[in-house]
Chains A and B, each alone.
Chain A
Amino acid sequence: MAEQHYRIELVEEYDKVNFYSIHMDGKELTELESFFEKFPIGCEYDEEIDVIIAWMDKIAETGALERYFRPEGRYGDGVGVIPIDVGNKVRLYCLRLSDKILVFGNGGIKDTAKWQESEELAPYVKLLIDTSRFISSRMSDGSLVLVDKEIIGNLKFTRNEKE
């Protein structure tokens, strides 16, 4: 078992919603930045990435309403995937904490029928599922609260990841 240390940090702020991302200790980029690094301009998935960014920019205007998301984790944990209706190959995962707070994880190319079977994607979804659980637990004991568009409290996390 390897221990993972990470934090949640604000990456973009809008009138109706704040975008956060997970930032692993020792890594230069957040998980969201790391996702986009995998798909440089001119790559074969340009159109899919364009749709993801255009969708994110619309969410920035409208807020992170539940009906715009595709659930992906377990029921009720808030883990979702950014819906794209072209190609159906690229996956970017997120955690929707409210209409005003979105935490982006990482993603990649869907290479198996289910994310659970994908060596690349499963760790990203599991990280968000665990993070959702940690946040719920901290909200229960009052060490973390959601105030409007902000997550206030202890945003540092430690997790045991199966090798």
Chain B
Amino acid sequence: MEARRKSVSPEVRERVELSFQIVDRIHEILTEKGLKQKDLALQLGKKEAEISKWMRGTHNFTIDTLVSIEQALDAPILEVVHKEEEVYA
């Protein structure tokens, strides 16, 4: 088990890590707004089972899906890191 654990690809670990961050953020927004997964499903025109499937920490979200969730919940999920603006004298 330990040997198998050490061989896990860093890309897979990073993907699962990011997926957990995304679903935890979605859960946080839902909680803040007093909404349930079924409310999000209704807004997106999806079945609740599909939203539950997304929320388990291994879903590979597309940009389209993330944008539709952000719009449905009216809250940001992912932010892009920008290079710090250079200050000119």
- B1 interfacial contact with A, CB 8 Å: yes
Q: 1/0 contact trace for B39-64 toward A, CB 8 Å?
A: 00000000000001101111110000
A78 CB → nearest B CB, Å:
16
A46→B1 CA distance, assembly (Å): 14
A54–B1 CB distance below 8 A: no
B48 CB → nearest A CB, Å:
12
Report how many residues on chain B are interfacial, defined by Cβ distance under 8 Å.
Answer: 24
- Given A50-B8, A51-B16, verify A85-B58 contact (CB < 8 Å): yes
- A36 interfacial contact with B, CB 8 Å: yes
The 6 closest A-B pairs by CB, nearest first: A83-B56, A54-B16, A50-B12, A85-B58, A50-B8, A54-B13
- Given A53-B8, A54-B16, A62-B20, verify A36-B1 contact (CB < 8 Å): yes
Contacts of A67 in B (CB 8 A): 23, 27, 52, 55-56
